[in-house]
């Protein structure tokens, strides 16, 4: 894999709640230098300053982050505002309590509430695969995301105590969506080897804060 191709698969991510405007500016400059596919920041850090990143770099933000334990109408309102603030991609957290209880219709309805207010942007659905635990629950979450109109399923927020992306979870997700949706691996991907293992397992996007070191290690 060429470095530029790997870079285009990366959502360069900065979600620390204490992030300052100066740090956002430096982060966007780094993203532009690295040639990543998208930047991902908290919704309160949008809109980005004019010209912060080139037009070919997407602007992603998170919805219902990091717990997913928000009312669906709250997630929808957050999504609507994010799009108005320039987001071209939304990474939303599912209702983890509903998922843990096997209430997949509720999970699907929650995702659909965000899809309905932002039909024109890329929607990535964070299923928190490590928390779900079993392959069957991971597959069920993927089916709910697909039925609700998602464009991607995503492993993790990177903030849940259960952990981040694993090769096993990515493999299950990729097999379930069968190329109809993208698969984003995120959470704990800090070096080149980990990034390439996720891609080999079926990831089509990577959420990384260590983007520079990953690319330099290729």
Q: Is the pTM of this model over 0.95?
A: yes
Q: What is the pLDDT of residue 6?
A: 98
Q: Check 91, 95, 110, 151 and give the catalytic one.
A: 91
- Rounded to a whole number of angstroms, the CA Rg of the chain reads 16
- The string of pLDDT tens digits covering residues 89-126 is 999 999 999 999 999 999 999 999 999 999 999 999 99
pLDDT in the model for residue 19:
96
Q: What is the 3-state secondary structure (H, E, C) of the chain?
A: CCHHHHHHCEEEEECCCCCCHHHHHHHHHHHHHHCCCEEEECHHHCCCCCCCCCCCCEEEEEECCCCCCCCHHHHHHHHHHHHHCCCCEEEEECCHHHHHCCCHHHHHHHHHHHHHHCCCCEEEEECCHHHHCCHHHHHHHHHHHHHCCCCEEECCCCCCCCCCCCHHHHHHHHHHHCCCCEEEEECCCCCHHHHHHHHHHCCCEEEECCHHHHHHCC
Query: What is the per-residue pLDDT across 118-153, written as a single tens digit (0 to 9) for each?
Result: 999 999 999 999 999 999 999 999 999 999 999 999
Confidence band for 35, pLDDT divided at 50, 70 and 90: very high
154 counts as catalytic: yes
Q: What is the pLDDT of residue 118?
A: 98
**CB contact at 8 A, 37 and 7:** yes
Distance between CA atoms of 90 and 76, rounded to whole angstroms?
11
Catalytic annotation on 124?
no
Annotated catalytic residue within 11, 95, 124, 184: 184
pLDDT bucket at 76, cuts 50 / 70 / 90: very high
91 an active-site residue?
yes
Query: Of the residues 11, 95, 110, 154, which is catalytic?
Result: 154
**Mean pLDDT score of the chain, rounded to an integer?**
98
Condensed to tens digits (0 to 9), the pLDDT of residues 159-217 reads 999 999 999 999 999 999 999 999 999 999 999 999 999 999 999 999 999 999 999 99
Residue 93: what pLDDT? 98
What the chain holds in terms of domains, given with CATH numbers, is 3-216 (3.20.20.70)
């Amino acid at each position: 894999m060429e470095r530029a191709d790997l870079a285009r698969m990366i959502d360069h991510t900065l979600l620390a709640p204490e992030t300052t405007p100066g740090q956002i500016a430096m982060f966007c400059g780094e993203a532009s230098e690295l040639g990543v596919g998208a930047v991902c920041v908290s919704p309160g850090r949008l809109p980005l300053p004019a010209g912060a990143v080139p037009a070919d770099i997407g602007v992603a933000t998170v919805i219902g982050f990091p717990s997913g334990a928000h009312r669906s109408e709250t997630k929808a309102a957050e999504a609507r505002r994010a799009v108005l603030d320039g987001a071209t991609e939304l990474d939303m957290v599912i209702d983890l309590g509903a998922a843990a209880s096997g209430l997949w219709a509720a999970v699907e309805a929650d995702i659909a509430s965000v899809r309905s207010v932002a039909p024109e942007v890329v929607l990535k659905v964070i299923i928190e695969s490590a928390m779900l635990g079993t392959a069957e629950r991971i597959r069920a979450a993927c089916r709910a995301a697909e039925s609700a109109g998602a464009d991607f399923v995503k492993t993790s927020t990177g903030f849940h105590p259960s952990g981040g992306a694993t090769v096993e979870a990515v493999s299950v997700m990729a097999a379930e969506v069968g190329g109809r949706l993208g698969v984003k691996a995120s959470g704990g991907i800090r070096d080149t080897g980990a990034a390439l293992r996720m891609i080999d397992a079926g990831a089509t996007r990577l959420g990384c804060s260590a983007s520079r070191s990953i690319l330099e290690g290729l």
